[in-house]
Amino acid sequence: MIPRYSRPEMAALWTPERRYQTWLDVELAAGRAMAQAGLVPLGAIAECSAKGGVFTAKDAARIDEIEKTTRHDVIAFLTFLEERIGPAARHLHFGMTSSDVLDTSLAMLLRDAADLILGGIDKAREAIVRRAQEHKHTPCIGRSHGIHAEPTTFGWKLIVWADELSRARGRLERARATIAHGKISGAVGTFAHLTPAIEEAALKSLGLAPEPASTQIVQRDRHAEYFTSLALAGASLENFATEIRHLQRTEVREAEEPFGKGQKGSSAMPHKRNPILSENLTGLARLLRGYAVSAMEDVALWHERDISHSSVERVIAPDATVTLDFMLHRFAGLIDGLRVYPERMMENLQATRGLVFSQPVLLQLIEKGMERQAAYLVVQRNAMKVWDEGRDFKSLLAADPEIQQLLKASELESCFDLMHGLRHVDAVFDRVLKAPGQQSR
C-alpha cells in the first residue's frame, strides 16, 4: 500500500527485513524442537541463534541479490544464512519444505496485524460511543429510501454503528484464531522426516497452533476467512461514511466533517467544504472487497499445493491489513472532529409540516375502532394534501370530519409528541453498552 494510506506501525510489519526475521524465527523454533528430539545438534542451533542477528535493509538487499540467481526466495534466504552463520547453518531447515517457513511466517504476521487492527476497531468504537452519548437525546429525522420516515436521535444512529463495530471485532477475533495456525510437516505434509511432536513444540514457541492435517501448505480457507473479515469491517466503515456524506449534503447539512484552518475544498470554488474523508473511506472499502475475492480465489489449489496463491498473498496481505488499519484510525479522527448541527436537524424534522407523525395518528384511529385500511386511507388522504398543497398536517387532520368523530383534540395532539416516540433510547443504549464484554471497550 502506498505511504499515503499507511500508518508506520502497520507498515513496519510488512518490510522485507521483518519478513526475513520471522523466517529466521521459524527456522530457529523448528531447529530447537528438532534438537530436543535428537535430530540436529543443539549446539549448532544455539550458534545459529547467536549469529542470526537482526535483519536490516542491507541484509534484505543481499538476499534479493542471491535470489536473482537461485530464482527461489527461501533458498536465497538459506544461502544468506550460510554466509552469515557458517557451517552450523546446514542444520537449519532439516526435513522441512519452503511452505513450512512461508506459511508459518505469514500466520505470525497476519496474527500480529490482527492485533493492531483490533486496537483500531476499539479506538473507532470508543469515538463513536463518546459522540453517541453526547447526542443520545438530539432529535433528528429518520429516513427510509432517502425520504423522511419517523423521528430518531443522532445518538441512536451512532449507537447502531457502535454495535456493528462490536460484531466486526468479534469476526476479527475469530479470524485471528483461525489464521494463527502453522505447519512444519515437510513436503506434502506427511512428516516423512519429522514428527508431529516436533511441529507442535516449534509452533507453540511461536504462539501458533498446528494445522491438524496439512498438505504441503496450510489450507487457504483460513486466509479467505481472515480477509473476508477485513472486508466486512471495511464495509461497515463505508456504511458509516456514506451516512456522513449524505448528512453533509448542502440540502441536509445535519453533520459535517472537520474542516481545518487553511484547508481548501476546491481549486475553483472557495466556498466548498467537501466530505473527502468519508469519500476516501468509501473508496478504500472497495479495495478490501477485492482483496477478499482474491483470497477466496486462492482456496482452490492443485493437489497438495501449487503457488498460484503466492503472488496474490504477497500483495493482499500487506495491502489489506495496512488499508483497514488506516481506515479505522482515519474514521476515529473523523468522528472525534465531526461537526453536528442539532438546530438544522430540528429544521429538517419539521420540514414536512408534521407528516412524520402519520403512524401515531393511524394507530390511534385503529385503537378507536376504525378498520385499519379505512384509517390508512383517511390519514393518507390528508398526508397527500400536505405533499401536494404545502399545508399543515395536524390542521388538516383536525378539520377532517371522520377524525373528529373519533379523536378528541387532546388525543390528536398526543400523536404529535416527539419525545414519546423516542422514549426507549436509554434502553437501547443500555442493551448495546451493557452487553457482555462491552463495558471494558
Are 44 and 88 contacting, i.e. CB atoms less than 8 angstroms apart? yes
Which position has the grid cell 492443485? 302
> Which is nearest to 357 in space by CA: 441, 303, 415, 402?
415
- ∠ CA 29-30-31, nearest 5°, is 90
**Cα 235 to Cα 228, 238, 327, 333, distances in angstroms:** 10, 5, 11, 18
Q: Which residues are catalytic?
A: 145, 266
Computed from CA positions of residues 388, 393, 395, 399, in that sequence, does the dihedral angle turn out positive or negative? positive
Which position has the grid cell 524465527? 25
DSSP secondary structure code for residue 188 in this structure: G
Q: Report residue 182: phi and psi, to 5°.
A: -125, -175
Task: Quickly list H helices, 338-389.
Answer: 342-349, 358-367, 372-389
The residue type found at 147 is: I
Instruction: List the beta bridge partners of residue 340.
Output: 255
Instruction: List the beta bridge partners of residue 209.
Output: 181
The residue type found at 14 is: W
- ∠ CA 188-192-197, nearest 5°, is 100
- Distance (Å, whole) CA 84 – CA 276: 50
